[in-house]
Amino acid sequence: MFDILEADIVVLQETKIQRKDLVDDMVLVPGWDCYWSLPKHKKGYSGVVIYTRQSVCAPIRAEDGITGTLCPPNSAKSFAEGPEDMQIGGYPTKAQLEASRVDATTLDSEGRCVILEFPAFVLFGVYSPATRDETRDNFRLGFLDVLDARIRNLASLGKRVVLTGDFNVSREELDTANAEAAMRTNGYTVDEYMSTPARRMFNQLLEGGKVIGERDQGRASAVLWDICRGFHPERKGMFTCWEQKVNARPGNYGSRIDYVLSSLDMKTWFSDSNIQEGLMGSDHCPVYATIKDQVHIDGGNIHILDLINPHGMFLNGQRKREYSTKDMLPMSGRLIPEFDGRRNIKDMFARKPLPDFQSATVALQRTQISYGEHAESDDRTCGPIYQADAVEAKCLTKGGGVESAASATNKKRTHAGASAQKPPKRSKLGVVSLSPLPGTGKGQQNLKGFFTAATVLQPDG
């Protein structure tokens, strides 16, 4: 999957697993670290994970949840109560939490957010609740309320934010094929449609977001930029999700509910952003954003590798020391007791490539992978109930086919640490080879089976 996405940071949502379901292929991915937010009570529900390519980037802090009330592994103190040098900061105030419709512990109990901090920015991987029935309205709006507060608090501290995920809300009429039908069904005017609580809240975060009437208290200004829409301001049909039950994808009758957003002062950092509607395997498609090698910050240009790794690991884009276990954060999946100190069997036989750090374009990808059906909905597509069998990643969403209208899918980017040619793959008796058959093209052609073990063939006789 990671070869298909060609990204250095991959955010997956709706993993629909619990800790007991984690296996080596999910955690001990060669060359990658991972950070999980898993549902605390419900089985087969929600879940978020962020993967980071060790040869390119390494976060300096990591947290589970949006409120700071959960505890890091092996700690009795919450993230917000821990040592200051380990805090990401921007935690919702007591007043902000009291204004929410749901208490903080409940909001963070469903595994809906992972937060990583790099020196350059704070990255959110989010799976926002969808509209299902009135019993979930308070939870959904409470989650968005506190998320909005956390982002604005971080901005007030001078920290940049990159927000990625499935927000289960389309930004405006341009972002859904269902807008006119939804307004007609509910008897809404355009202003009423734009003023539905989740959509209004979301648009107040975004530069250029349509807000009817006066802005809400505490939301006087926009703080984020819609990167993909910024590169394609007038593009119609730029949808990321389609209703599977009615086979809506071939006719592109869908909605854009998956986003990669950034702080306003990061606008010049990105060289490209798009959807990858040709990548199949889910009811969602990937969304990506690519960061330039050199970014403008504090009056000068700095290599991005210097800004997405701990201090001293890179200088002017050149590696000064190797990534090691000392760089792992307590939230790292590799430090979960069941996996700590172990290696994936593939690692033991892999030839380590010679690093090439001359150029490393960092791509954020958000991807969704299917595990089964769920009935969370807002205005994803044509019906009042949207069935999604997905997991998101990307800055991406679940997807499968290799071809995409986006040029990034057709361009092979040079990753730091990927200059050496991989050794040829060998087949063993009784194991299906992963090498492509003649005429089938290179590599895996979709994301289905990403966490499925290889089929074992029984020898004849």
Active site residue 8: no
User: What DSSP string runs through 356-418?
Assistant: --S---EEEEEEE---S-B--BSSSSSSSS--B----EEEEE----S--SSHHHHSPPPPTT-
Strands (E), 28-99: 32-37, 48-53, 61-64
Distance CA 67, CA 91 (A): 6
DSSP for residue 457: P
Look at the block and give the residue holding tokens 């190797």: 322
- List the structure tokens of 331: 């939230």
Sign of CA pseudo-dihedral 230, 232, 234, 235:
negative
Return the percent helix, strand and coil in the chain, to nearest 5: 25, 20, 55
Phi and psi, residue 24, nearest 5°: -55, -45
The residue annotated as part of the active site, out of 127, 288, 371, 386, is 127
Under DSSP, is residue 449 helix (H, G, I), strand (E, B) or coil? coil
Distance CA 155, CA 295 (A): 19
Distance CA 73, CA 63 (A): 10
Strands (E), 311-361: 314-315, 318-319
Under DSSP, is residue 73 helix (H, G, I), strand (E, B) or coil? coil
Distance CA 53, CA 63 (A): 18
Distance CA 421, CA 245 (A): 43
The residue annotated as part of the active site, out of 148, 166, 258, 283, is 166
Q: Considering only CA atoms, which of 331, 382, 423, 354 is closest in space to residue 19?
A: 331
Q: State the amino acid at position 37 in one-letter form.
A: S
Strand 294-297 relative to strand 287-291, pairing: unpaired
- List the structure tokens of 28: 């001990």
Active site residue 127: yes
Residue positions annotated with a catalytic role: 127, 166
